[in-house]
Chain A
Amino acid sequence: MFHVKQFDVIVVGGGHAGTEAAAAAARRGARVALVSQSRAQIGTMSCNPSIGGLGKGHLVREVDALDGLMARAADAGAIHYRMLNRSKGLAVQGPRIQADRRRYRAAIHQLLAATPNLSIIEGEAVALTLASGRLSGVRLRDDTTIAAPAVVLATGTFLGGRIYRGSEREDGGRVGERPALELGVQLRALDLPMRRLKTGTPPRLDGRTIDWARLSPQRSDDEPWRMSPMTRGPRLPQLACAVTRTNMATHDIIRAGLDNSPLFSGAIEGQGPRYCPSIEDKVHRFGDRDGHQIFLEPEGLDDKTVYPNGISTSLATDVQHAMVRSVEGLERAVITVPGYAVEYDHLDPRALDHRLALTALPGLFCAGQINGTTGYEEAAAQGLIAGLNAAALARDDAPVILDRASAYIGVMIDDLVLQGVSEPYRMLTARAEYRLALRADNAETRLSAIGEAANCISDERRAHIARRMAQRDDLRASRVAPSAVDADIAREIEEDARYAPYLARQAEEIDRMRRDGAIAIPTGAALHAIAGLSNEMIERLTTAAPATLDEASRVRGVTPAALAALWLHARKSA
């Protein structure tokens, strides 16, 4: 008999969702196993080299406020800082960095190594194990079994992953890495609502073959801001990006290559993201444009690879080659890895609750692209919440649920579990109805108390927060001058004052939301017993499974009368 290793939480997948989930669960005191096919690949940035941006920067700061890894690793790897929307209000400013991939990954490894209670297990999870209808752990390719009452699936595009490039096909989640096929088959067999989505990545270029002198550079911000307020010390040397653009010749090459495009031949059934279209999509849908921008982003200080942001493609390799060389500055550019599209399985996130737990299989949590999202930041934010709640389940602690008024994380999860997705979900500031209050610069103020209550904050950060909270209190009470506190805090308090009348009006809206959020409503079969609910309403409520009256009010198509009936029922049962 083999000795079965026992943990509180198992995390499957070492990407942005998986690493945050593992670290978050461990911070709450859970014994955690992080299972990854390749130890070395943990913390890899599979697509673009940037972290943050509009809406996404908010998520990074929120993850950081709850002591997550991403912001600190981003600072450790940052070779380019850019505050987007600097000229606009703080609510829509988006901090974004570009990271040296190797240094970013090293920083994640370091942070994980410094996290107590966290073991990394190299291996491929092939099956979830069940014991009397409950999840009991996972089985690996080598037949070892690891046991835990809670499992977080953060498999990214590896679940049923299939790579497309021209007429080439390959099974895999990233080029050169195996997909998680068995696990996908098992999830489908569990009768979970699985669907297909697709995403893509551009070809990588050898930076030494780019004619930089002909292109206009975009430099890193001079102002020394950081992703995490915890980061100390000097920045790495900063690199400039460059901007070039496609032209009519490029578009002709692309059009001529469409015959062999899996996107246009119908080989790919999954829906791709509208806000991150492939270059063939852009040329096809916006045929009148005479050019599309390409940002040439260096991938590292001692890595000559350049990421040409803006030309994600799954065209055949020779077409990619001709397309790249038609662009100014890239006439002699060499492609090191061609671009590709990847189609993968995801779970309809309406099968999850606000903890990101799967209702149909107690103990199973899902985070990241498996839930139909796209982006490192979206993945990290979900990983954090899934990890905190997996630890809560295993150790009988309180769940951590952020609502729409607390955080972009709350907006995203609420959107996912109530509305589902029709394309890969990306965070946008327009999705947050309390955008004026949810700013990237005030994440610490918004979330510190929640992190403290969840007991997921290190002593070092606790001291840091206490010092800064005192500064805020002093400044708000005019006990000190703005110049006597941290500069970002002075700006934060100034911005609060500017939007105070609007924030006050939103506060009433938030009160109403929270009041209705305290009214629990029935789910599942119990809905049929409620007088006055039509079959259509029952179906909508069953799919999204809202737990409270407030959540029900956001399920699309649910009428005021249905809400009244739910409310009456809740009253009666109280």
Chain B
Amino acid sequence: MSDTIFALSSGRPPAAIAVVRVSGPAACGAAQALAGRCPPPRHASLRTLRDAAGAALDRALVIYFPGPATATGEDLVELHCHGGRAVVAAVERALAAVPGLRHARPGEFTRRALENGRIDLAQAQGLADLLEAETEAQHRTALAAAEGAVGRAVGGWLDRLSAIAAQVEAQLDFADEADVEDAGGYDPAPAIAALLAEWRATLAAPSVERLRDGVRVVIAGPPNAGKSSLFNALADRDAAIVTPIAGTTRDVLEAAVMRDGIPYRLTDTAGLAEATDDEVERIGIDRAATAMAGADILLWMGAPVEAPAGAVILAGKADLPGADHTGADLAVSARLPHTIAALWALLADRAGAMLTIDGDMALRQTQRDRLAEAAAALDLARRTTDLLIVAEQLRVATRPLAALLGKDATEAMLDALFGRFCLGK
């Protein structure tokens, strides 16, 4: 049985409408997970999509096409969402969280269509060329990565992982011969924990694609704190505005701004009021929470004690007499240009740090996926004392990293093994 895959199948957002396709045996289940239930076949139904936590993501048209008479020959679900990037990203995140679903690889929908005889061989002819073109690009990327900081980092991780695996294998395959004197009683746990911590820190940093789209600056706080004035001051007064983008709802506004060579995505959120009965307002608040969670830099305009961890605390309306700045990182006012300039300096500082550290080391999505796969395996390795299982998980963890560098995982481990120990009789 094949996996269920999903991907955005319309053009790159922002756009008016974005179509996300889900294909495979769990497609209907995915529709059920996001939209509450799977609609009747071939009927467009308007549904609220929610993530696993119940947070509303979008109102979307959901259409279910049962296989095999579909584009891919499998059960197929289409989600016609609003075309904002945040919406599409949120829907894709929610789909990825559904068990049995994974993001489609390039060309995979076509491959399935072909596999299931839904497109003919003439149509398939072009695909090999297309794939080849893609590898050329991938090849260049891989080469660049191999020479760059990412390649060095992955190479270093692979070496360390191979060394741990070699220690474990030395105990499994050779310790009983008593010729692995320095491997006796080796405990791989500290080395594994250290590696895992590094990987998690790397995974927590934004990906190349994210950074290319801009550093996410989210302005949040209680209503009427001066958020929108600040948003306009940051967005409107700068000549470098690219496009003001109407967000997916009336109450989250986004603007792409380039300043001093750094791309930013500014987001203004709805005021975080107390519990409300108004459905629209409630959705707005949910969205604000989502935006805040996805922020690279969060500007908090509200009481310092209520500020989320890591936020930059701003005291708004600095032009008003008697304003209280206690506990704030910076006092700002749309009417005082020097305060806005100071804020830009602060943003450039933070974003700059993020981009120079991570810009070098930022991973592409595919690299992140491999690293996440390796991290999951390593996490399991940490939870057992059975050397055999540790070795098994190290093997699972080594493979995706070796694949990133085009190396053979077993050979890498054996090189480490024989380089380190005087083995055999």
For A, the interface residue count at a CB cutoff of 8 angstroms equals 53
Beyond A292-B422, A436-B392, 9 additional pairs, beta carbon < 8 A:
A54-B174, A92-B388, A275-B418, A289-B422, A430-B413, A531-B132, A557-B406, A561-B134, A571-B114
Known contacts: A276-B425, A277-B424. The answer to whether A435 contacts B131 by CB under 8 A is no
User: Would you call A568 and B124 a contact (CB within 8 A)?
Assistant: yes
User: Would you call A92 and B172 a contact (CB within 8 A)?
Assistant: yes
A431, A530, A564: the one within 8 Å of B410 (CB): A431
User: Would you call A564 and B392 a contact (CB within 8 A)?
Assistant: no
User: Would you call B111 and A277 a contact (CB within 8 A)?
Assistant: no
Known contacts: A88-B172, A564-B107, A571-B124. The answer to whether A428 contacts B132 by CB under 8 A is no
Known contacts: A565-B131, A571-B114. The answer to whether A531 contacts B125 by CB under 8 A is yes
B132, B395, B410: the one within 8 Å of A534 (CB): B132
Can you report 28 A-B residue pairs in the complex whose CB atoms are below 8 A from each other?
Answer: A54-B174, A85-B172, A85-B175, A89-B387, A91-B388, A276-B424, A277-B422, A428-B414, A430-B169, A430-B417, A435-B388, A435-B392, A436-B388, A531-B132, A532-B129, A557-B406, A559-B135, A561-B131, A561-B132, A561-B134, A561-B138, A562-B135, A564-B131, A565-B128, A568-B128, A569-B128, A571-B115, A572-B124
1/0 per position for B398-420, CB-CB distance to A under 8 A? 00000000101010011001100
CA distance A258 to B417 in the complex (A): 26
Q: Which of A55, A86, A312, A559 gathers the greatest number of chain B CB atoms within 10 Å?
A: A559
Q: Which of B176, B395, B413, B417 gathers the greatest number of chain A CB atoms within 10 Å?
A: B176
1/0 per position for A71-87, CB-CB distance to B under 8 A? 00000000000001110
User: Would you call B410 and A430 a contact (CB within 8 A)?
Assistant: yes
Q: Which residues of B contact A435 (CB under 8 A)?
A: 388, 391-392
Decide yes or no whether B173 CB sits under 8 A from chain A: yes
Decide yes or no whether A429 CB sits under 8 A from chain B: yes
CA distance A169 to B395 in the complex (A): 44
User: Would you call B129 and A531 a contact (CB within 8 A)?
Assistant: yes
Decide yes or no whether A208 CB sits under 8 A from chain B: no
B380 to chain A, nearest CB (A): 10
1/0 per position for A483-506, CB-CB distance to B under 8 A? 000000000000000010010000
User: Would you call B132 and A565 a contact (CB within 8 A)?
Assistant: yes
A276, A433, A571: the one within 8 Å of B395 (CB): A433
A467 to chain B, nearest CB (A): 30
CA distance A275 to B417 in the complex (A): 10
CA distance A522 to B179 in the complex (A): 46
CA distance A560 to B403 in the complex (A): 10
Q: Which residues of B contact A561 (CB under 8 A)?
A: 131-132, 134-135, 138
User: Would you call B131 and A84 a contact (CB within 8 A)?
Assistant: no
A489 to chain B, nearest CB (A): 21
User: Would you call B178 and A293 a contact (CB within 8 A)?
Assistant: yes
Within 8 A of A (CB), among B85-139: 107, 111, 114-115, 121, 124-125, 127-129, 131-132, 134-135, 138-139
Known contacts: A561-B134, A572-B121. The answer to whether A54 contacts B128 by CB under 8 A is no
CA distance A310 to B179 in the complex (A): 10
Decide yes or no whether A362 CB sits under 8 A from chain B: no
For B, the interface residue count at a CB cutoff of 8 angstroms equals 43
Decide yes or no whether A274 CB sits under 8 A from chain B: yes
B328 to chain A, nearest CB (A): 52
User: Would you call A89 and B386 a contact (CB within 8 A)?
Assistant: yes
Q: Which residues of A contact B273 (CB under 8 A)?
A: none
Closest to B134 in A: A561
Decide yes or no whether B225 CB sits under 8 A from chain A: no
CA distance A273 to B129 in the complex (A): 43
Decide yes or no whether A295 CB sits under 8 A from chain B: yes
1/0 per position for B169-200, CB-CB distance to A under 8 A? 10011111111000000000000000000000
CA distance A243 to B138 in the complex (A): 55
Closest to B105 in A: A560
B111, B406, B422: the one within 8 Å of A564 (CB): B111
Q: Which residues of B contact A395 (CB under 8 A)?
A: none
User: Would you call A556 and B408 a contact (CB within 8 A)?
Assistant: yes
Decide yes or no whether A264 CB sits under 8 A from chain B: no
Q: Which residues of B contact A430 (CB under 8 A)?
A: 169, 172-173, 391, 410, 413-414, 417
Q: Which residues of B contact A88 (CB under 8 A)?
A: 172, 387-388
Decide yes or no whether B389 CB sits under 8 A from chain A: yes
User: Would you call B125 and A84 a contact (CB within 8 A)?
Assistant: no
1/0 per position for A231-243, CB-CB distance to B under 8 A? 0000000000001
Q: Which residues of B contact A557 (CB under 8 A)?
A: 406
User: Would you call A532 and B422 a contact (CB within 8 A)?
Assistant: no
Within 8 A of B (CB), among A280-304: 282, 285-286, 289, 292-293, 295
Closest to A415 in B: B410
User: Would you call B414 and A282 a contact (CB within 8 A)?
Assistant: no
B142 to chain A, nearest CB (A): 9
CA distance A310 to B410 in the complex (A): 26
Decide yes or no whether B252 CB sits under 8 A from chain A: no
Decide yes or no whether B253 CB sits under 8 A from chain A: no
Q: Which of A92, A285, A556, A567 gathers the greatest number of chain B CB atoms within 10 Å?
A: A92
Closest to A282 in B: B422
Q: Which residues of A contact B424 (CB under 8 A)?
A: 273-277
Decide yes or no whether A309 CB sits under 8 A from chain B: yes
CA distance A71 to B375 in the complex (A): 42
Q: Which residues of B contact A565 (CB under 8 A)?
A: 128, 131-132
CA distance A564 to B178 in the complex (A): 47
Q: Which of B172, B174, B178 gathers the greatest number of chain A CB atoms within 10 Å?
A: B172
Q: Which residues of A contact B354 (CB under 8 A)?
A: none
Closest to A564 in B: B131
B168 to chain A, nearest CB (A): 9
B14 to chain A, nearest CB (A): 31
Q: Which residues of A contact B107 (CB under 8 A)?
A: 564
Within 8 A of A (CB), among B316-372: none
Closest to B177 in A: A84
A452 to chain B, nearest CB (A): 30
A513 to chain B, nearest CB (A): 14
Closest to A295 in B: B425
User: Would you call B128 and A92 a contact (CB within 8 A)?
Assistant: no
Decide yes or no whether B423 CB sits under 8 A from chain A: yes
CA distance A431 to B413 in the complex (A): 10
Q: Which residues of B contact A436 (CB under 8 A)?
A: 388, 392
Known contacts: A275-B423, A295-B425. The answer to whether A85 contacts B176 by CB under 8 A is yes
Q: Which of B179, B388, B395, B418 gathers the greatest number of chain A CB atoms within 10 Å?
A: B388
Closest to B132 in A: A532
User: Would you call A502 and B172 a contact (CB within 8 A)?
Assistant: no
Known contacts: A428-B414, A565-B131. The answer to whether A502 contacts B425 by CB under 8 A is no
Q: Which residues of B contact A277 (CB under 8 A)?
A: 422, 424
CA distance A233 to B282 in the complex (A): 82
Q: Which residues of A contact B391 (CB under 8 A)?
A: 430, 435
Q: Which residues of A contact B392 (CB under 8 A)?
A: 435-436, 502
Closest to A506 in B: B392
B172, B389, B422: the one within 8 Å of A429 (CB): B172
Q: Which residues of A contact B410 (CB under 8 A)?
A: 430-431, 433
Q: Which of A91, A292, A531, A557 gathers the greatest number of chain B CB atoms within 10 Å?
A: A531
Within 8 A of B (CB), among A39-73: 48, 54-55
Q: Which residues of A contact B169 (CB under 8 A)?
A: 428-430
Within 8 A of B (CB), among A328-384: none
A94, A310, A534: the one within 8 Å of B425 (CB): A310
1/0 per position for A242-277, CB-CB distance to B under 8 A? 010000000000000000000000000000011111
CA distance A317 to B45 in the complex (A): 90
CA distance A435 to B390 in the complex (A): 12
Within 8 A of B (CB), among A427-462: 428-431, 433, 435-436
CA distance A532 to B107 in the complex (A): 14
